[in-house]
Structure 1
Amino acid sequence: MWRTLLLILFLTSLATLARAQDTTWEACHGAPGVTGPVLSDCRPIGDFVDPQGQELWIRATIPAPSDTQPRALYVAGVASSEAWLNGERLGSNGRPGASARDEIPGRYQATFPIREAAWRPDANTLVVRLSSFHGGLRFAGPMTAITVLPFPYPQRTALLAVTFVAAGALLAATFGFGVIHALRRTGSSLVLAGMAGVAALQSVVESLRPLFNYPYPLHAWRMSAIWALAAGFAILLVVYVASRFLPKARGLMIGLAVGGIGATALLPGFDNKTVWALVLGVALAIPPAAVGVRRRIPGARPVLAYLALFLAVAVGFPEWLADFSYFLLVASLVLPLLMVEVVRLGREDRGREAALTRAVSLPDRLTVASARGVELAPIAEILAVVGADDYVELRLVGGRSLLHAARLDALTTQLPANFLRVHRSVIANLAHVRRLERDGDRWRLHLSEGAPLPVSRSRQRALREALEDTPVAEAISA
């Protein structure tokens, strides 16, 4: 964790040193001319360059380079562009126009190399023509760069490599948790697989810009996907933490997460939306983790420490969260959880094998494996078996219940013939049936004690036939 934080601090300092000085731009009325653009009525741009929904001519005065290193004009944003230096045309990215019909959309990033002979020894006039009629959405900061830098521009290969490593680790975790879910049908492994998969997919989408110079109209889809994936991860994080450490409030926490994180779509700026979606998800996951620490639930302390670190990085370095640190933080959570899950399942398997070996001579009892250990439950005292997320609930005579780490399908074949599947999530012991009755448009099966059980339409006939051959204490009513 601390190594990750130190790495983020180091890269942030490098980014600050490398940040280019802002250029002062003027917005003008312009038109193409024989010897270059003809500009008039130029006025300073107070905040930022925004060509959305219009054709925009901008002008800046820049100094000549102090060395002989080649230079290029870099333009990045949701706009088509065309550029001139001292009246010499540098090139075009798409074709800017006065309307959507006149414009040909360009790429999101454009590079215009500058010939050395184009520079003047004193002041140099840079003119850029922009238009953006095909952006799809309105961006708070449509242009991310319009600046002259050394050519070729140094790529952030180290950052890209780390992102790919994190993506590979997250995909591996997705596969691992997916296998665990296929074998054990545990809800927690499915949620963790979703968290890892969503984060891996977001890392791929984040890497599209340096890898693929896409047409600028696709930028709205890319940014929307990044926000949606970040929101999905945040909601899944709350689902996982609440289910594990505060299951009674799981529904409430999920409702708060869906409502609060979904509301970030209304915030201005996609980076702002993405960061706030992640921050809200982490903030909502902290209370259940804190409850787990207070109750001394295993695993609560490291999860709470992880959430605190995530929140500290988000508050301290919001500009790095969505682009870089997010993937490292997610990998640092799901990979240890995957290893812990594999070790835990191995121990459970060995414990089950030993318990089953001891229980061979006791065919009238069911070996119940749970987080607390192994217990032998008399089959005759089982009223019903009800599916309960990662486990099944055994409802016993006397109001007791046990959670059993087994699949409902497997128990269907293990239990005696007097146990019948009456619903996709319910197996009933017909020896304890009292009556079957209609409740509106539904059917309910009443046992000797406890709450009535739901009966699905598709299983009514089989249930009635089984009840005809099973003595019950009271008449069966339709």
Structure 2
Amino acid sequence: MKKHQLILITWLALLIGSLRPAAAQEVAHVNIGAMIVCELASSTNIPPSFSGDGCTTMNGRLVSPHKRAIWLRMTVDIPETMAHSPRPLGLFISAKAASRAWVNGQLIGNNGEPAHNAEAEVPGRMDAVFPVPHGLLHAGENTVIIQMSGHHGYIGLVSPIHFIAIAAYAAPSDTILREYMPSLLPLGVLVLGALYFGVLAIRRRDYGPRLLIPLTALFSAAQLLAEVSRGFTPYLYPFHDIRLVLILAFAVATGVSLFLHVLTRFLGKHRWLIAGISLVIYAALLLFADGFDRKSSLALLLPSLYAMMIAVYASTRGAKLAGGYAAALFLFSGLIFFTPTQFLDTYFYYCVAGLLLFLFIGEIRDHQRERRLREREKARADKLQVILDESRERESPTNIKITSAGKVEFIPTSDIAFCKGAGDYVELTVKGRAPVLHSQSLNDMETELPGTFLRVHRSYLVNTAFIRALEREASGAQLILTTGETVPVSRRILPSVRKALT
């Protein structure tokens, strides 16, 4: 099995494992499908009768406390086991509002201070829990009344009331973080991918399609952190609007970066005209979409569809990797289209990380291919240089000044078979005479000798004109010289020596 296939299969296994259902917990959901909503003219903290003017029955999911104060009355059906449970219970409210709650006519707590105007209101937390006194609930139908106001919100949402339920008492942020925990697993892939490929692109001064891959990973990681911030801290509800804007902005940046990467990789002619038209349509559709969830889904769906069409077109033209891009983007787009809400909550970061893994593998393969080409070109250039040096040495041999035992002499480098390091000295094996000890280090000697000398070991420099053969043995490798002597070859340097002699 190929390495990149193993990586993708491992990632798919992690995705499936992360989608296992959580341990069951008994939760009594408040009936927010049909609640009585009252908006009173006067300011009061006493629950109304819910039967006068200004009160109506409506779908609670469409109720909004944005820029106003309202009263809500609803019911919750408590099972027998929960009513008699020894565990402490809590009323959980996730809504963009300050709130005050009553259960069966008894006030159980405040989340901020709801009021009729912004000056009097104290913003509450987005996710709050009110402890329910033991014995207050009974099996069957119970009444819940909530006073809400949202004067400090910035954006009016379609469904600002997310969740109302009674369950075992716990910190809401802990519960939310546990739900988000599987999404944190891809964070490492996104951050490491952004850093590695960002540095690689900058070092290569490639500010085109290769830089857009780490940017896609970086924006996805930022979107992930914005998403899970709800589980890190129980923030006040006005920050929820900022969080939603950040999620949408990073989703747009992720989608656009992905689209531009595919565009610049596979299209040449008219690509910027195509990019301009596509982005104008993209911006218009986002502007008129309802709700932040739908906007965030479209922010990712449309660019991936654009990119998929480009990859399909490039595949028909025989572009390398285009077919793989098209298949990966088809799967990615399909998941967004058929499961938009679940995709954002559960699959998104795994799918983005999986898609980026695919792109990373493609980039790694391209990088390895380019590196092999550079190595071959360098090997050819080095071999050519050796040939030129050998020719130059035959036509005009260079001499090197040797200092030994206080005597200075000049020896033709073409007569030196090899040099052996001996501490601060070098032992020269010279054709037709006894070895010569030279008072210089091997490293300094290497800089003075012509390119016909090859470093084969940390202690040996060999004149390539004297090499007859390269032999491999159980103990290592060695060079057989025309003088009949042998020189060891370092395991680390052996590949370079083999290339030089090829």
Tell whether the structures are fold-level matches, with TM greater than 0.5.
yes
Q: Is 1:238 equivalent to 2:259 in the alignment?
A: yes
For residue 11 of structure 1, report the CA deviation from its aligned partner.
5.6
Are 1:86 and 2:104 an aligned pair?
yes
Q: What fraction of aligned residue pairs are identical, expressed as a percent? A: 28
Alignment of 1:49-448 (within 5 A): 49-67=63-81, 68-69=84-85, 70-120=88-138, 123-152=141-170, 155=175, 159-186=179-206, 187-263=208-284, 264-359=286-381
Aligned length: 361
2:344 counterpart letter in structure 1? A
Q: Secondary structure at the match of 1:72?
A: strand
1:25 to 1, 16, 35: 35
Q: CA deviation at 1:113?
A: 1.5
Distance 1:234 1:79, change over 3 A: same
Which deviates the most, 114-123 or 100-109? 114-123
Contact 1:235 1:261 in 2 (8 A): no
Would the alpha carbon gap of residues 20 and 6 (structure 1) be closer, same or farther in structure 2, given more than 3 Å must change? farther
Q: What SS does the corresponding residue of 1:319 show, helix, strand or coil?
A: helix
What is the CA RMSD across the aligned residues, in angstroms? 3.0
Match for 1:338: what amino acid?
F
Contact 1:195/1:236 (CA < 8 Å) preserved in 2?
A: yes
SS at match of 1:116: coil
**Which amino acid in structure 2 is aligned with residue 91 of structure 1?**
G
Cα distance, 1:288–1:61 mapped onto 2, change above 3 Å? closer
1:118 Cα deviation after fit? 1.6
Where in structure 1 are there 5+ consecutive unaligned residues? 364-478
Alpha-carbon distance, 1:32 to partner: 8.5
TM-score (norm 1): 0.69
What letter corresponds to residue 352 of structure 1 in structure 2? Answer: R
The separation in 2 between residues aligned to 1:194 and 1:86, in whole angstroms, is: 53
Q: Which stretch of the first structure deviates more once superposed, 314-323 or 25-34? A: 25-34
Instruction: Tell me which moved more, 188-197 or 158-167.
Output: 158-167
- Other structure's SS at 2:65 match: coil
Name 2:479's counterpart in structure 1: none
SS at match of 2:142: strand
CA distance in 2, matches of 1:208, 1:170: 17
* CA drift at 1:200: 0.6
For 1:358 and 1:121, how far apart are their aligned partners in 2? 85
Q: 1:21 to 1:45 in 2, by over 3 A?
A: same
Distance 1:65 1:226 in 2: 38
1:120-170 CA-to-partner distances (Å, cap 9, x unmatched) read 456432110000011111111111112223333783666523211111110
Out of 8, 13, 16, the residue aligned to residue 7 of structure 1 is 16
Which string of whole-angstrom CA distances, capped at 9 and with x for unpartnered residues, describes residues 100-127 of structure 1?
Answer: 1111111111101111222245643211
Distance 1:224 1:61, change over 3 A: same
Report the Cα distance in structure 2 between the residues aligned to 1:188 and 1:93, rounded to whole angstroms: 49
Q: CA deviation at 1:33?
A: 7.9
Larger radius of gyration: 2
1:433-476: CA deviation from partner (whole Å, max 9, x where unpaired): xxxxxxxxxxxxxxxxxxxxxxxxxxxxxxxxxxxxxxxxxxxx
Cα distance between partner residues in 1 of 2:117 and 2:176: 36
For the 8 Å contact 1:29–1:39, the answer to whether it is kept is no
Which whole-Å CA distance do the structure 2 matches of 1:230 and 1:103 have between them? 33
8 Å Cα contact 1:84/1:126 also seen in 2: yes
How far apart are 1:332 and its partner, in Å?
1.0
Contact 1:235 1:281 in 2 (8 A): yes
Contact 2:336 2:343 in 1 (8 A): yes
